[in-house]
Structure 1
């Protein structure tokens, strides 16, 4: 399909036509660019009280996210990856965000699947809505609302949203105001992606990793995670990219966890290769493989299970598998070294030796197409094994807002658009 044909389809959408998901002309991967994502997780107690284990019944959930690249039409992706029963959405809408749980008048659109306003997502599946004619600007916030009439059972979610989600009793999918949404949570539920049709080139970037990518300790509702800061930097420079955050707090390269998600080598196909319009992936993973075993040895708790002592060689083997998967699918893959951890609960002489060995391999092996040396960018000027105090959230492991901004500015925009094999 030519570029001109794709734009004619987009114009048709704006004229009021709604394409069914069964019509491939409007749903081909070449037309869509993923502009926001969150990696699905199993229901669990999580890091803070949440609604995942109890699920929902006769309730409306309203969630706001910020897109990284704009477009003239959108579709919403919902995931039932870890559900135990089919998930029926009794009604859903999308709208531009106003403030809090309120949306902008005149922007609300009903979501459909194959033109039906009620639709069901099978167990283990993700489903995309039909396209809706909703023009979104780069870095604009969008609100997705859905009504769950029947009991859902435990809910697929993303534990650490660092954003406020809202819940109301009854069906409030078409509400413009936010008065009914009196309950809040700091997780995302079922929402796994927002895609757009628009002028953005197919230069999407996935930031793939753990809590350092997920944005742990950054400010709530402020979009200070490093992928957010990177999207802002690129937009300010006049070259906006879709930047997708597929971080998951606690995630490991080599170990599956009930709390911290499927290991990186398992979820990479879904969270990176399954995203539309992606050209580059930045991998920042491994700190939990080498640190959780040290933390659990001192203070064992079910949240960390299992916690094997993972060798540097095994972590490197996992990185190699991620590189191979990315290259097999034509993606440019960039490796980021692990920032300093001295003074944190993860730090011992044993874990530090493994961190230094892993970083040396990332820097010097030549297996990544490019390297972002966060170890050196984030280090204290007086002690290279510690986070710079100006970037330290206080736990000596996670950055503060300034630290996440420094991480984003460590990314050379030129490496995001170079062809594979370029240095």
Structure 2
């Protein structure tokens, strides 16, 4: 009986949320939004496009607000991509949407848009409110897409695909192909009260959530977002800009942090603070990268973020002994970098010590087994939560405007 009551309460909640999205039309807006990013995922090339394909993608919001807008990306395409139908609604279950929530998005007042190679485009605001912690569903159709496709490969979230245009349908009947990536969609923003800001987590596969439980939003930035919603803070938005295998200095798992900083972080609306947790992929397995090299990369990110009016919180590099590419020289560099971060706090707007949170007291070069996802480099759900719980929320409030 209790389960039935809880289920009814949940259905009522999403129905109320859907109703809030049904408001009077607002004027179309062109260009970057003036609000705050509520969801983000770094884009890179994830394969080749398919014509007449529809994608129904589930994303989980952080900050709540009004008039959501989505950003579509063709950053890694080699030809224009046409989106002739894009809708947004709220997830009921699987590919099914809450009745009455699915509505068409427009672009400069038009139902379709063409995104040039290397470019992104924002939708017009969709009138209504979007609560924090919503499962927003963006459905889009590409009639003649070809060539490289831009997206985010490791979503850790079940989404859906189909042939043909079924974007307007609330039913998931035609959305029978399950997918584990986000295609073309790389950001959602909302309008919020003027003081509200966001933090963008710039990182690698640990930030991307590998070894956290899929479909449960248990990446460490997700846990951080839930903390922020309950806290007395003006920072409410969280953008997870992690890419598996990513490096600070060199391209590989997507463009390097230095090469993607502008698009993935600095261009996002409302970002007040950059949370930099990256570097393990640079130094492992006889890479030849020195502590000075990595510190130099950090300093470039800090300088560019500061020039853009953003604050930077940096974390120490977590232990990874037991991972196949660990060796004593890489460990020595990791220790040198961490010593620098702890000893030069004045160069950053805040420091978080994920190394200290995750390491074993019996072997500081290893992750504590209780927090280890099993491969000795990626934390499990408990490790992800421990990381988020260790972040000083006051450090995210920093303001350089």
- TM-score by length of structure 2 reads 0.91
* C-alpha spacing 1:99/1:238, structure 2 compared with 1 (3 Å): farther
* C-alpha spacing 1:96/1:201, structure 2 compared with 1 (3 Å): farther
Is 1:282 the counterpart of 2:285 in the alignment?
Answer: no
* C-alpha spacing 1:263/1:152, structure 2 compared with 1 (3 Å): same
1:374–1:407 contact (8 Å) kept in structure 2: yes
Alpha-carbon shift at residue 180 of structure 1 (Å): 1.0
Map residues 13-412 of structure 1 onto 2, 5 A cutoff.
Answer: 16-22=24-30, 29=33, 31-43=34-46, 52-53=47-48, 55-199=49-193, 201-237=195-231, 239=233, 241-257=236-252, 260-291=253-284, 293-294=285-286, 308-365=287-344, 366-412=346-392
Alpha-carbon shift at residue 203 of structure 1 (Å): 2.2
Distance 2:328 2:32 in 1: 51
Distance 1:169 1:161 in 2: 21
1:336–1:362 contact (8 Å) kept in structure 2: yes
The structure richer in strand per residue is: 2
Distance 1:183 1:92 in 2: 18
Distance 2:357 2:201 in 1: 18
* C-alpha spacing 1:420/1:130, structure 2 compared with 1 (3 Å): closer
Alpha-carbon shift at residue 419 of structure 1 (Å): 4.1
2:12 aligned partner: none
Which segment is superposed worse, 308-317 or 187-196? 308-317
Render the CA deviation track for 1:199-243: whole Å, top value 9, x for unaligned.
373321111111111111111111000110000112133546101
**Superposition misfits of 4+ residues, deviation over 6 angstroms:** none
Count matched residues.
379
2:272–2:399 contact (8 Å) kept in structure 1: no
- The alignment's C-alpha RMSD in Å is 1.7
- TM-score by length of structure 1 reads 0.86
> What residue ranges of structure 1 are gaps of 5+ in the alignment?
1-12, 44-51, 295-307
